[in-house]
């Protein structure tokens, strides 16, 4: 997906909110970040997906705050919150007549643990998401196709998104019958996206082979990813990608991908013919590109 | 008041919304405006009030759209809407036990007719504002001081804000006992602020001497105003200024001013120790500057 004019004020809004959040409201640091982000917008290429700019913004924030992983503490908190919920989630999936589909729904519920599009979430939002997880409307046909594809696949790549959310990804992976599941995280810290450390804290290492994608952009910008990641991406029988940034970056890639996400922004929502707040099971196939929204 | 970091994303958001509104959603024109506004933010001086930047943005919009007064049609519509309401308003003021105070409240209600902070208003918002006009909490002490000052003044300057709102300013002026009331409008078009033409359409010429301030900034940036305006501003016994942009630009001036406005932005609200949505009768006196929020 491309970057829209509407993304520009949103980039600046996020840069302000995020910097204040991670630097304790220091307005001098915040002003330096804002000025550098404004400068960066000059060379903004609208034909590229928004995560290109997201990457630049979060590099500026890390540089100006001097924090290599500004969300480290918040990410640890997210994982703790998710782990506390995990027994209940596993119990509800176990009691479900369609455990795989239930596990997919809880993995989408976990996508609420996001600091990219707002200043985070609170316990109330989490509870609401998980309470309604089994009742939220999603594309049942795409969910059926995903279930069939998962049964047929012996080699699955699961691309993660946020720390904390990883706990529910781990639970979903336990319902994937494939011989090999590879779980991909970011190469280094960006926003509250999961890194190796966060994935291990969620127990991913117990259920999947862990790799990182070799870079620090939100989503998956293939041209920035390591050769190792790209090889796994191309050779997997099935790719499942979590989170909106993965739709932004992979929604025109040359292979089939299943996206699982909550839709967080009205611009992306419009592009996907959805509404902000919707839960998506989105089946991307390159040969349907002509009909699919771009 | 100074410009805040938070004003920057808001400037860009407004530039997008306003341009699309006045150019029929032409995205090429909108992108050119956005790029020029981004450029302008480079030389943004945060120590100056936000209307300095507002003026630059709306100059860019007029330049790129080729429209000398992009809001001309919307302003005419606002005046028609206000004129339709005026009989009811005059009747409710006439029936009030405190007609002057009621007229002040309806003048603040009229400040809803604003296109600066959002993409305008609808009939429902107008109706809500006018229905509750007599019950909205305002600073009753400041309102009493204004009433006494108005009784004592023989020479009043009334600084207008938006087209349409002018109709209710005219009704308030009819309750001012002063010998001379001067009504000031913008020197040329900016947003939907009233110009001479809009003031005349509201019947201001029947109740006041009409002047313009000689420039196209929102609010009243004295250093940009004509000598004629500045002379009237300094020599008036009483100055009443409508709208948030007048607080932004005159809240540290060297003379007493009564501000009547609805508070439209959370940043300005915080600065004034108010909330967005509040109705303000704000009594500014330079010798109280030490205690007043800056």
Match 């000052």 to its residue by tokens: B149
Nearest to B75 by CA among B186, B193, B170: B193
Q: What is the pLDDT along chain A (294 residues), one digit of tens a residue?
A: 999 999 999 999 989 988 998 888 899 999 999 999 999 998 889 999 999 999 999 999 999 999 999 999 999 999 999 999 999 999 999 999 999 999 999 999 999 998 876 556 788 888 999 999 999 999 999 999 999 999 999 999 999 999 999 999 999 999 999 999 999 999 999 999 999 999 999 999 999 999 999 999 999 999 999 999 999 999 999 999 999 999 999 999 999 999 999 999 999 999 999 999 999 999 999 975 444 444
Q: Which residues in chain A are closer than 8 Å to B31, comparing Cβ atoms?
A: 5, 46
Q: What is the distance in angstroms between the Cα of A12 and the nearest Cα belonging to chain B?
A: 5
Taking the Cβ of residue A30 and every Cβ of chain B, the question of whether any pair is shorter than 8 Å is answered with yes
Taking the Cβ of residue A26 and every Cβ of chain B, the question of whether any pair is shorter than 8 Å is answered with no
pLDDT tens, B131-186? 999 999 999 999 999 999 999 999 999 999 999 999 999 999 999 999 999 999 99
- Share the mean pLDDT of chain B: 93
| pLDDT at residue B286 is higher than 50 | yes
Q: What is the distance in angstroms between the Cα of B10 and the nearest Cα belonging to chain A?
A: 7
CB-CB contact of B238 with B158 (8 Å): no
pLDDT tens, B209-223? 999 999 999 999 999
Taking the Cβ of residue A117 and every Cβ of chain B, the question of whether any pair is shorter than 8 Å is answered with no
pLDDT tens, B179-201? 999 999 999 999 999 999 999 99
> Which residues, other chains included, contact B279 with Cβ-Cβ below 8 Å and sequence gap of 6+?
B105, B108, B136, B137, B138, B261, B262, B263
Distance from C-alpha of A238 to C-alpha of B136, rounded to nearest angstrom: 60
pLDDT tens, B235-268? 999 999 999 999 999 999 999 999 999 999 999 9
> Which residues, other chains included, contact A283 with Cβ-Cβ below 8 Å and sequence gap of 6+?
A139, A142, A145, A146, A256, A258, A259
- Provide ipTM, 2 decimals: 0.80
* Contact between chains at A38 and B38 (C-beta distance less than 8 A): yes
Q: Which residues in chain A are closer than 8 Å to B265, comparing Cβ atoms?
A: none
pLDDT tens, B57-95? 999 999 999 999 999 999 999 999 999 999 999 999 999
Taking the Cβ of residue B16 and every Cβ of chain A, the question of whether any pair is shorter than 8 Å is answered with yes
Nearest CA in chain A to B17: A6
Q: What is the distance in angstroms between the Cα of B223 and the nearest Cα belonging to chain A?
A: 27
Name the residue with higher pLDDT: B287 or A111: A111
Tell me the sheet residues that pair with A211.
A184
> Which residues, other chains included, contact A214 with Cβ-Cβ below 8 Å and sequence gap of 6+?
A187, A224, A225, A226, A228, A229
Nearest CA in chain A to B40: A38
| CA angle centred on A282, ends A277 and A285, rounded to 5° | 155
pLDDT at residue A162, as a whole number: 97
Nearest to B51 by CA among B223, B275, B202, B249: B249
How would you label B245-284 residue by residue, b for 16+ Cβ within 10 Å and e otherwise? bbbbbbbebeebbbbbbbbbbebbbebbebeeebbbbbbb
Q: Assign 3-state DSSP to chain B and report helix, strand, coil percentages, each to 5.
A: 50, 10, 35
Of B5, B38, B46, the CB nearest to A16: B5
CB-CB contact of A241 with A257 (8 Å): yes
Match 């008041």 to its residue by tokens: B1
pTM: 0.85
How would you label B6-40 residue by residue, b for 16+ Cβ within 10 Å and e otherwise? bbbbbbbbbbbbbbbbbbeeeeebbbbbbbbbbeb
Distance from C-alpha of A133 to C-alpha of A68, rounded to nearest angstrom: 34
Nearest CA in chain B to A12: B9
Q: Which residues in chain A are closer than 8 Å to B25, comparing Cβ atoms?
A: none
Residue of A9, A26, A30 to mutate when probing chain B, most B C-beta within 10 A: A9
């Amino acid at each position: 997906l491309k970057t829209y004019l509407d993304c520009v004020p949103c980039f600046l809004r996020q840069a302000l909110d995020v910097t204040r959040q991670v630097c304790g409201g220091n307005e001098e640091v915040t002003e330096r970040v804002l000025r550098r982000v404004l400068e960066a917008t000059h060379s903004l290429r609208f034909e590229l997906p928004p995560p290109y700019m997201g990457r630049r913004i979060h590099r500026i924030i890390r540089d100006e705050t001097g924090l290599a992983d500004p969300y480290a503490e918040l990410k640890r908190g997210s994982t703790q919150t998710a782990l506390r919920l995990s027994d209940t989630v596993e119990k509800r999936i176990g009691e479900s007549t369609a455990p795989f589909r239930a596990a997919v729904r809880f993995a989408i519920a976990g996508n609420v643990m996001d600091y990219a599009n707002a200043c985070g979430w609170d316990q109330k939002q989490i509870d609401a998401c998980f309470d309604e997880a089994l009742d939220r409307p999603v594309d049942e046909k795409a969910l059926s196709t995903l279930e069939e594809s998962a049964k047929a696949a012996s080699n699955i790549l699961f691309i993660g998104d946020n720390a904390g959310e990883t706990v529910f990804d781990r639970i979903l992976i336990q319902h994937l019958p494939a011989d090999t599941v590879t779980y991909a995280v970011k190469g280094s810290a960006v926003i509250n996206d999961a890194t190796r450390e966060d994935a291990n804290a969620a127990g991913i290492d117990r259920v999947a082979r862990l790799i990182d994608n070799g870079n620090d952009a939100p989503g998956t910008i293939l041209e920035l990813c390591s050769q190792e990641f790209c090889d796994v991406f191309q050779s997997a029988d099935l790719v499942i990608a979590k989170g909106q940034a993965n739709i932004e970056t992979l929604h025109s890639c040359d292979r089939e991908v299943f996206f699982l996400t909550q839709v967080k922004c009205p611009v992306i929502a419009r592009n996907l013919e959805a509404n902000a707040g919707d839960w998506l099971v989105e089946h991307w196939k390159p040969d349907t590109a002509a009909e699919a929204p771009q």
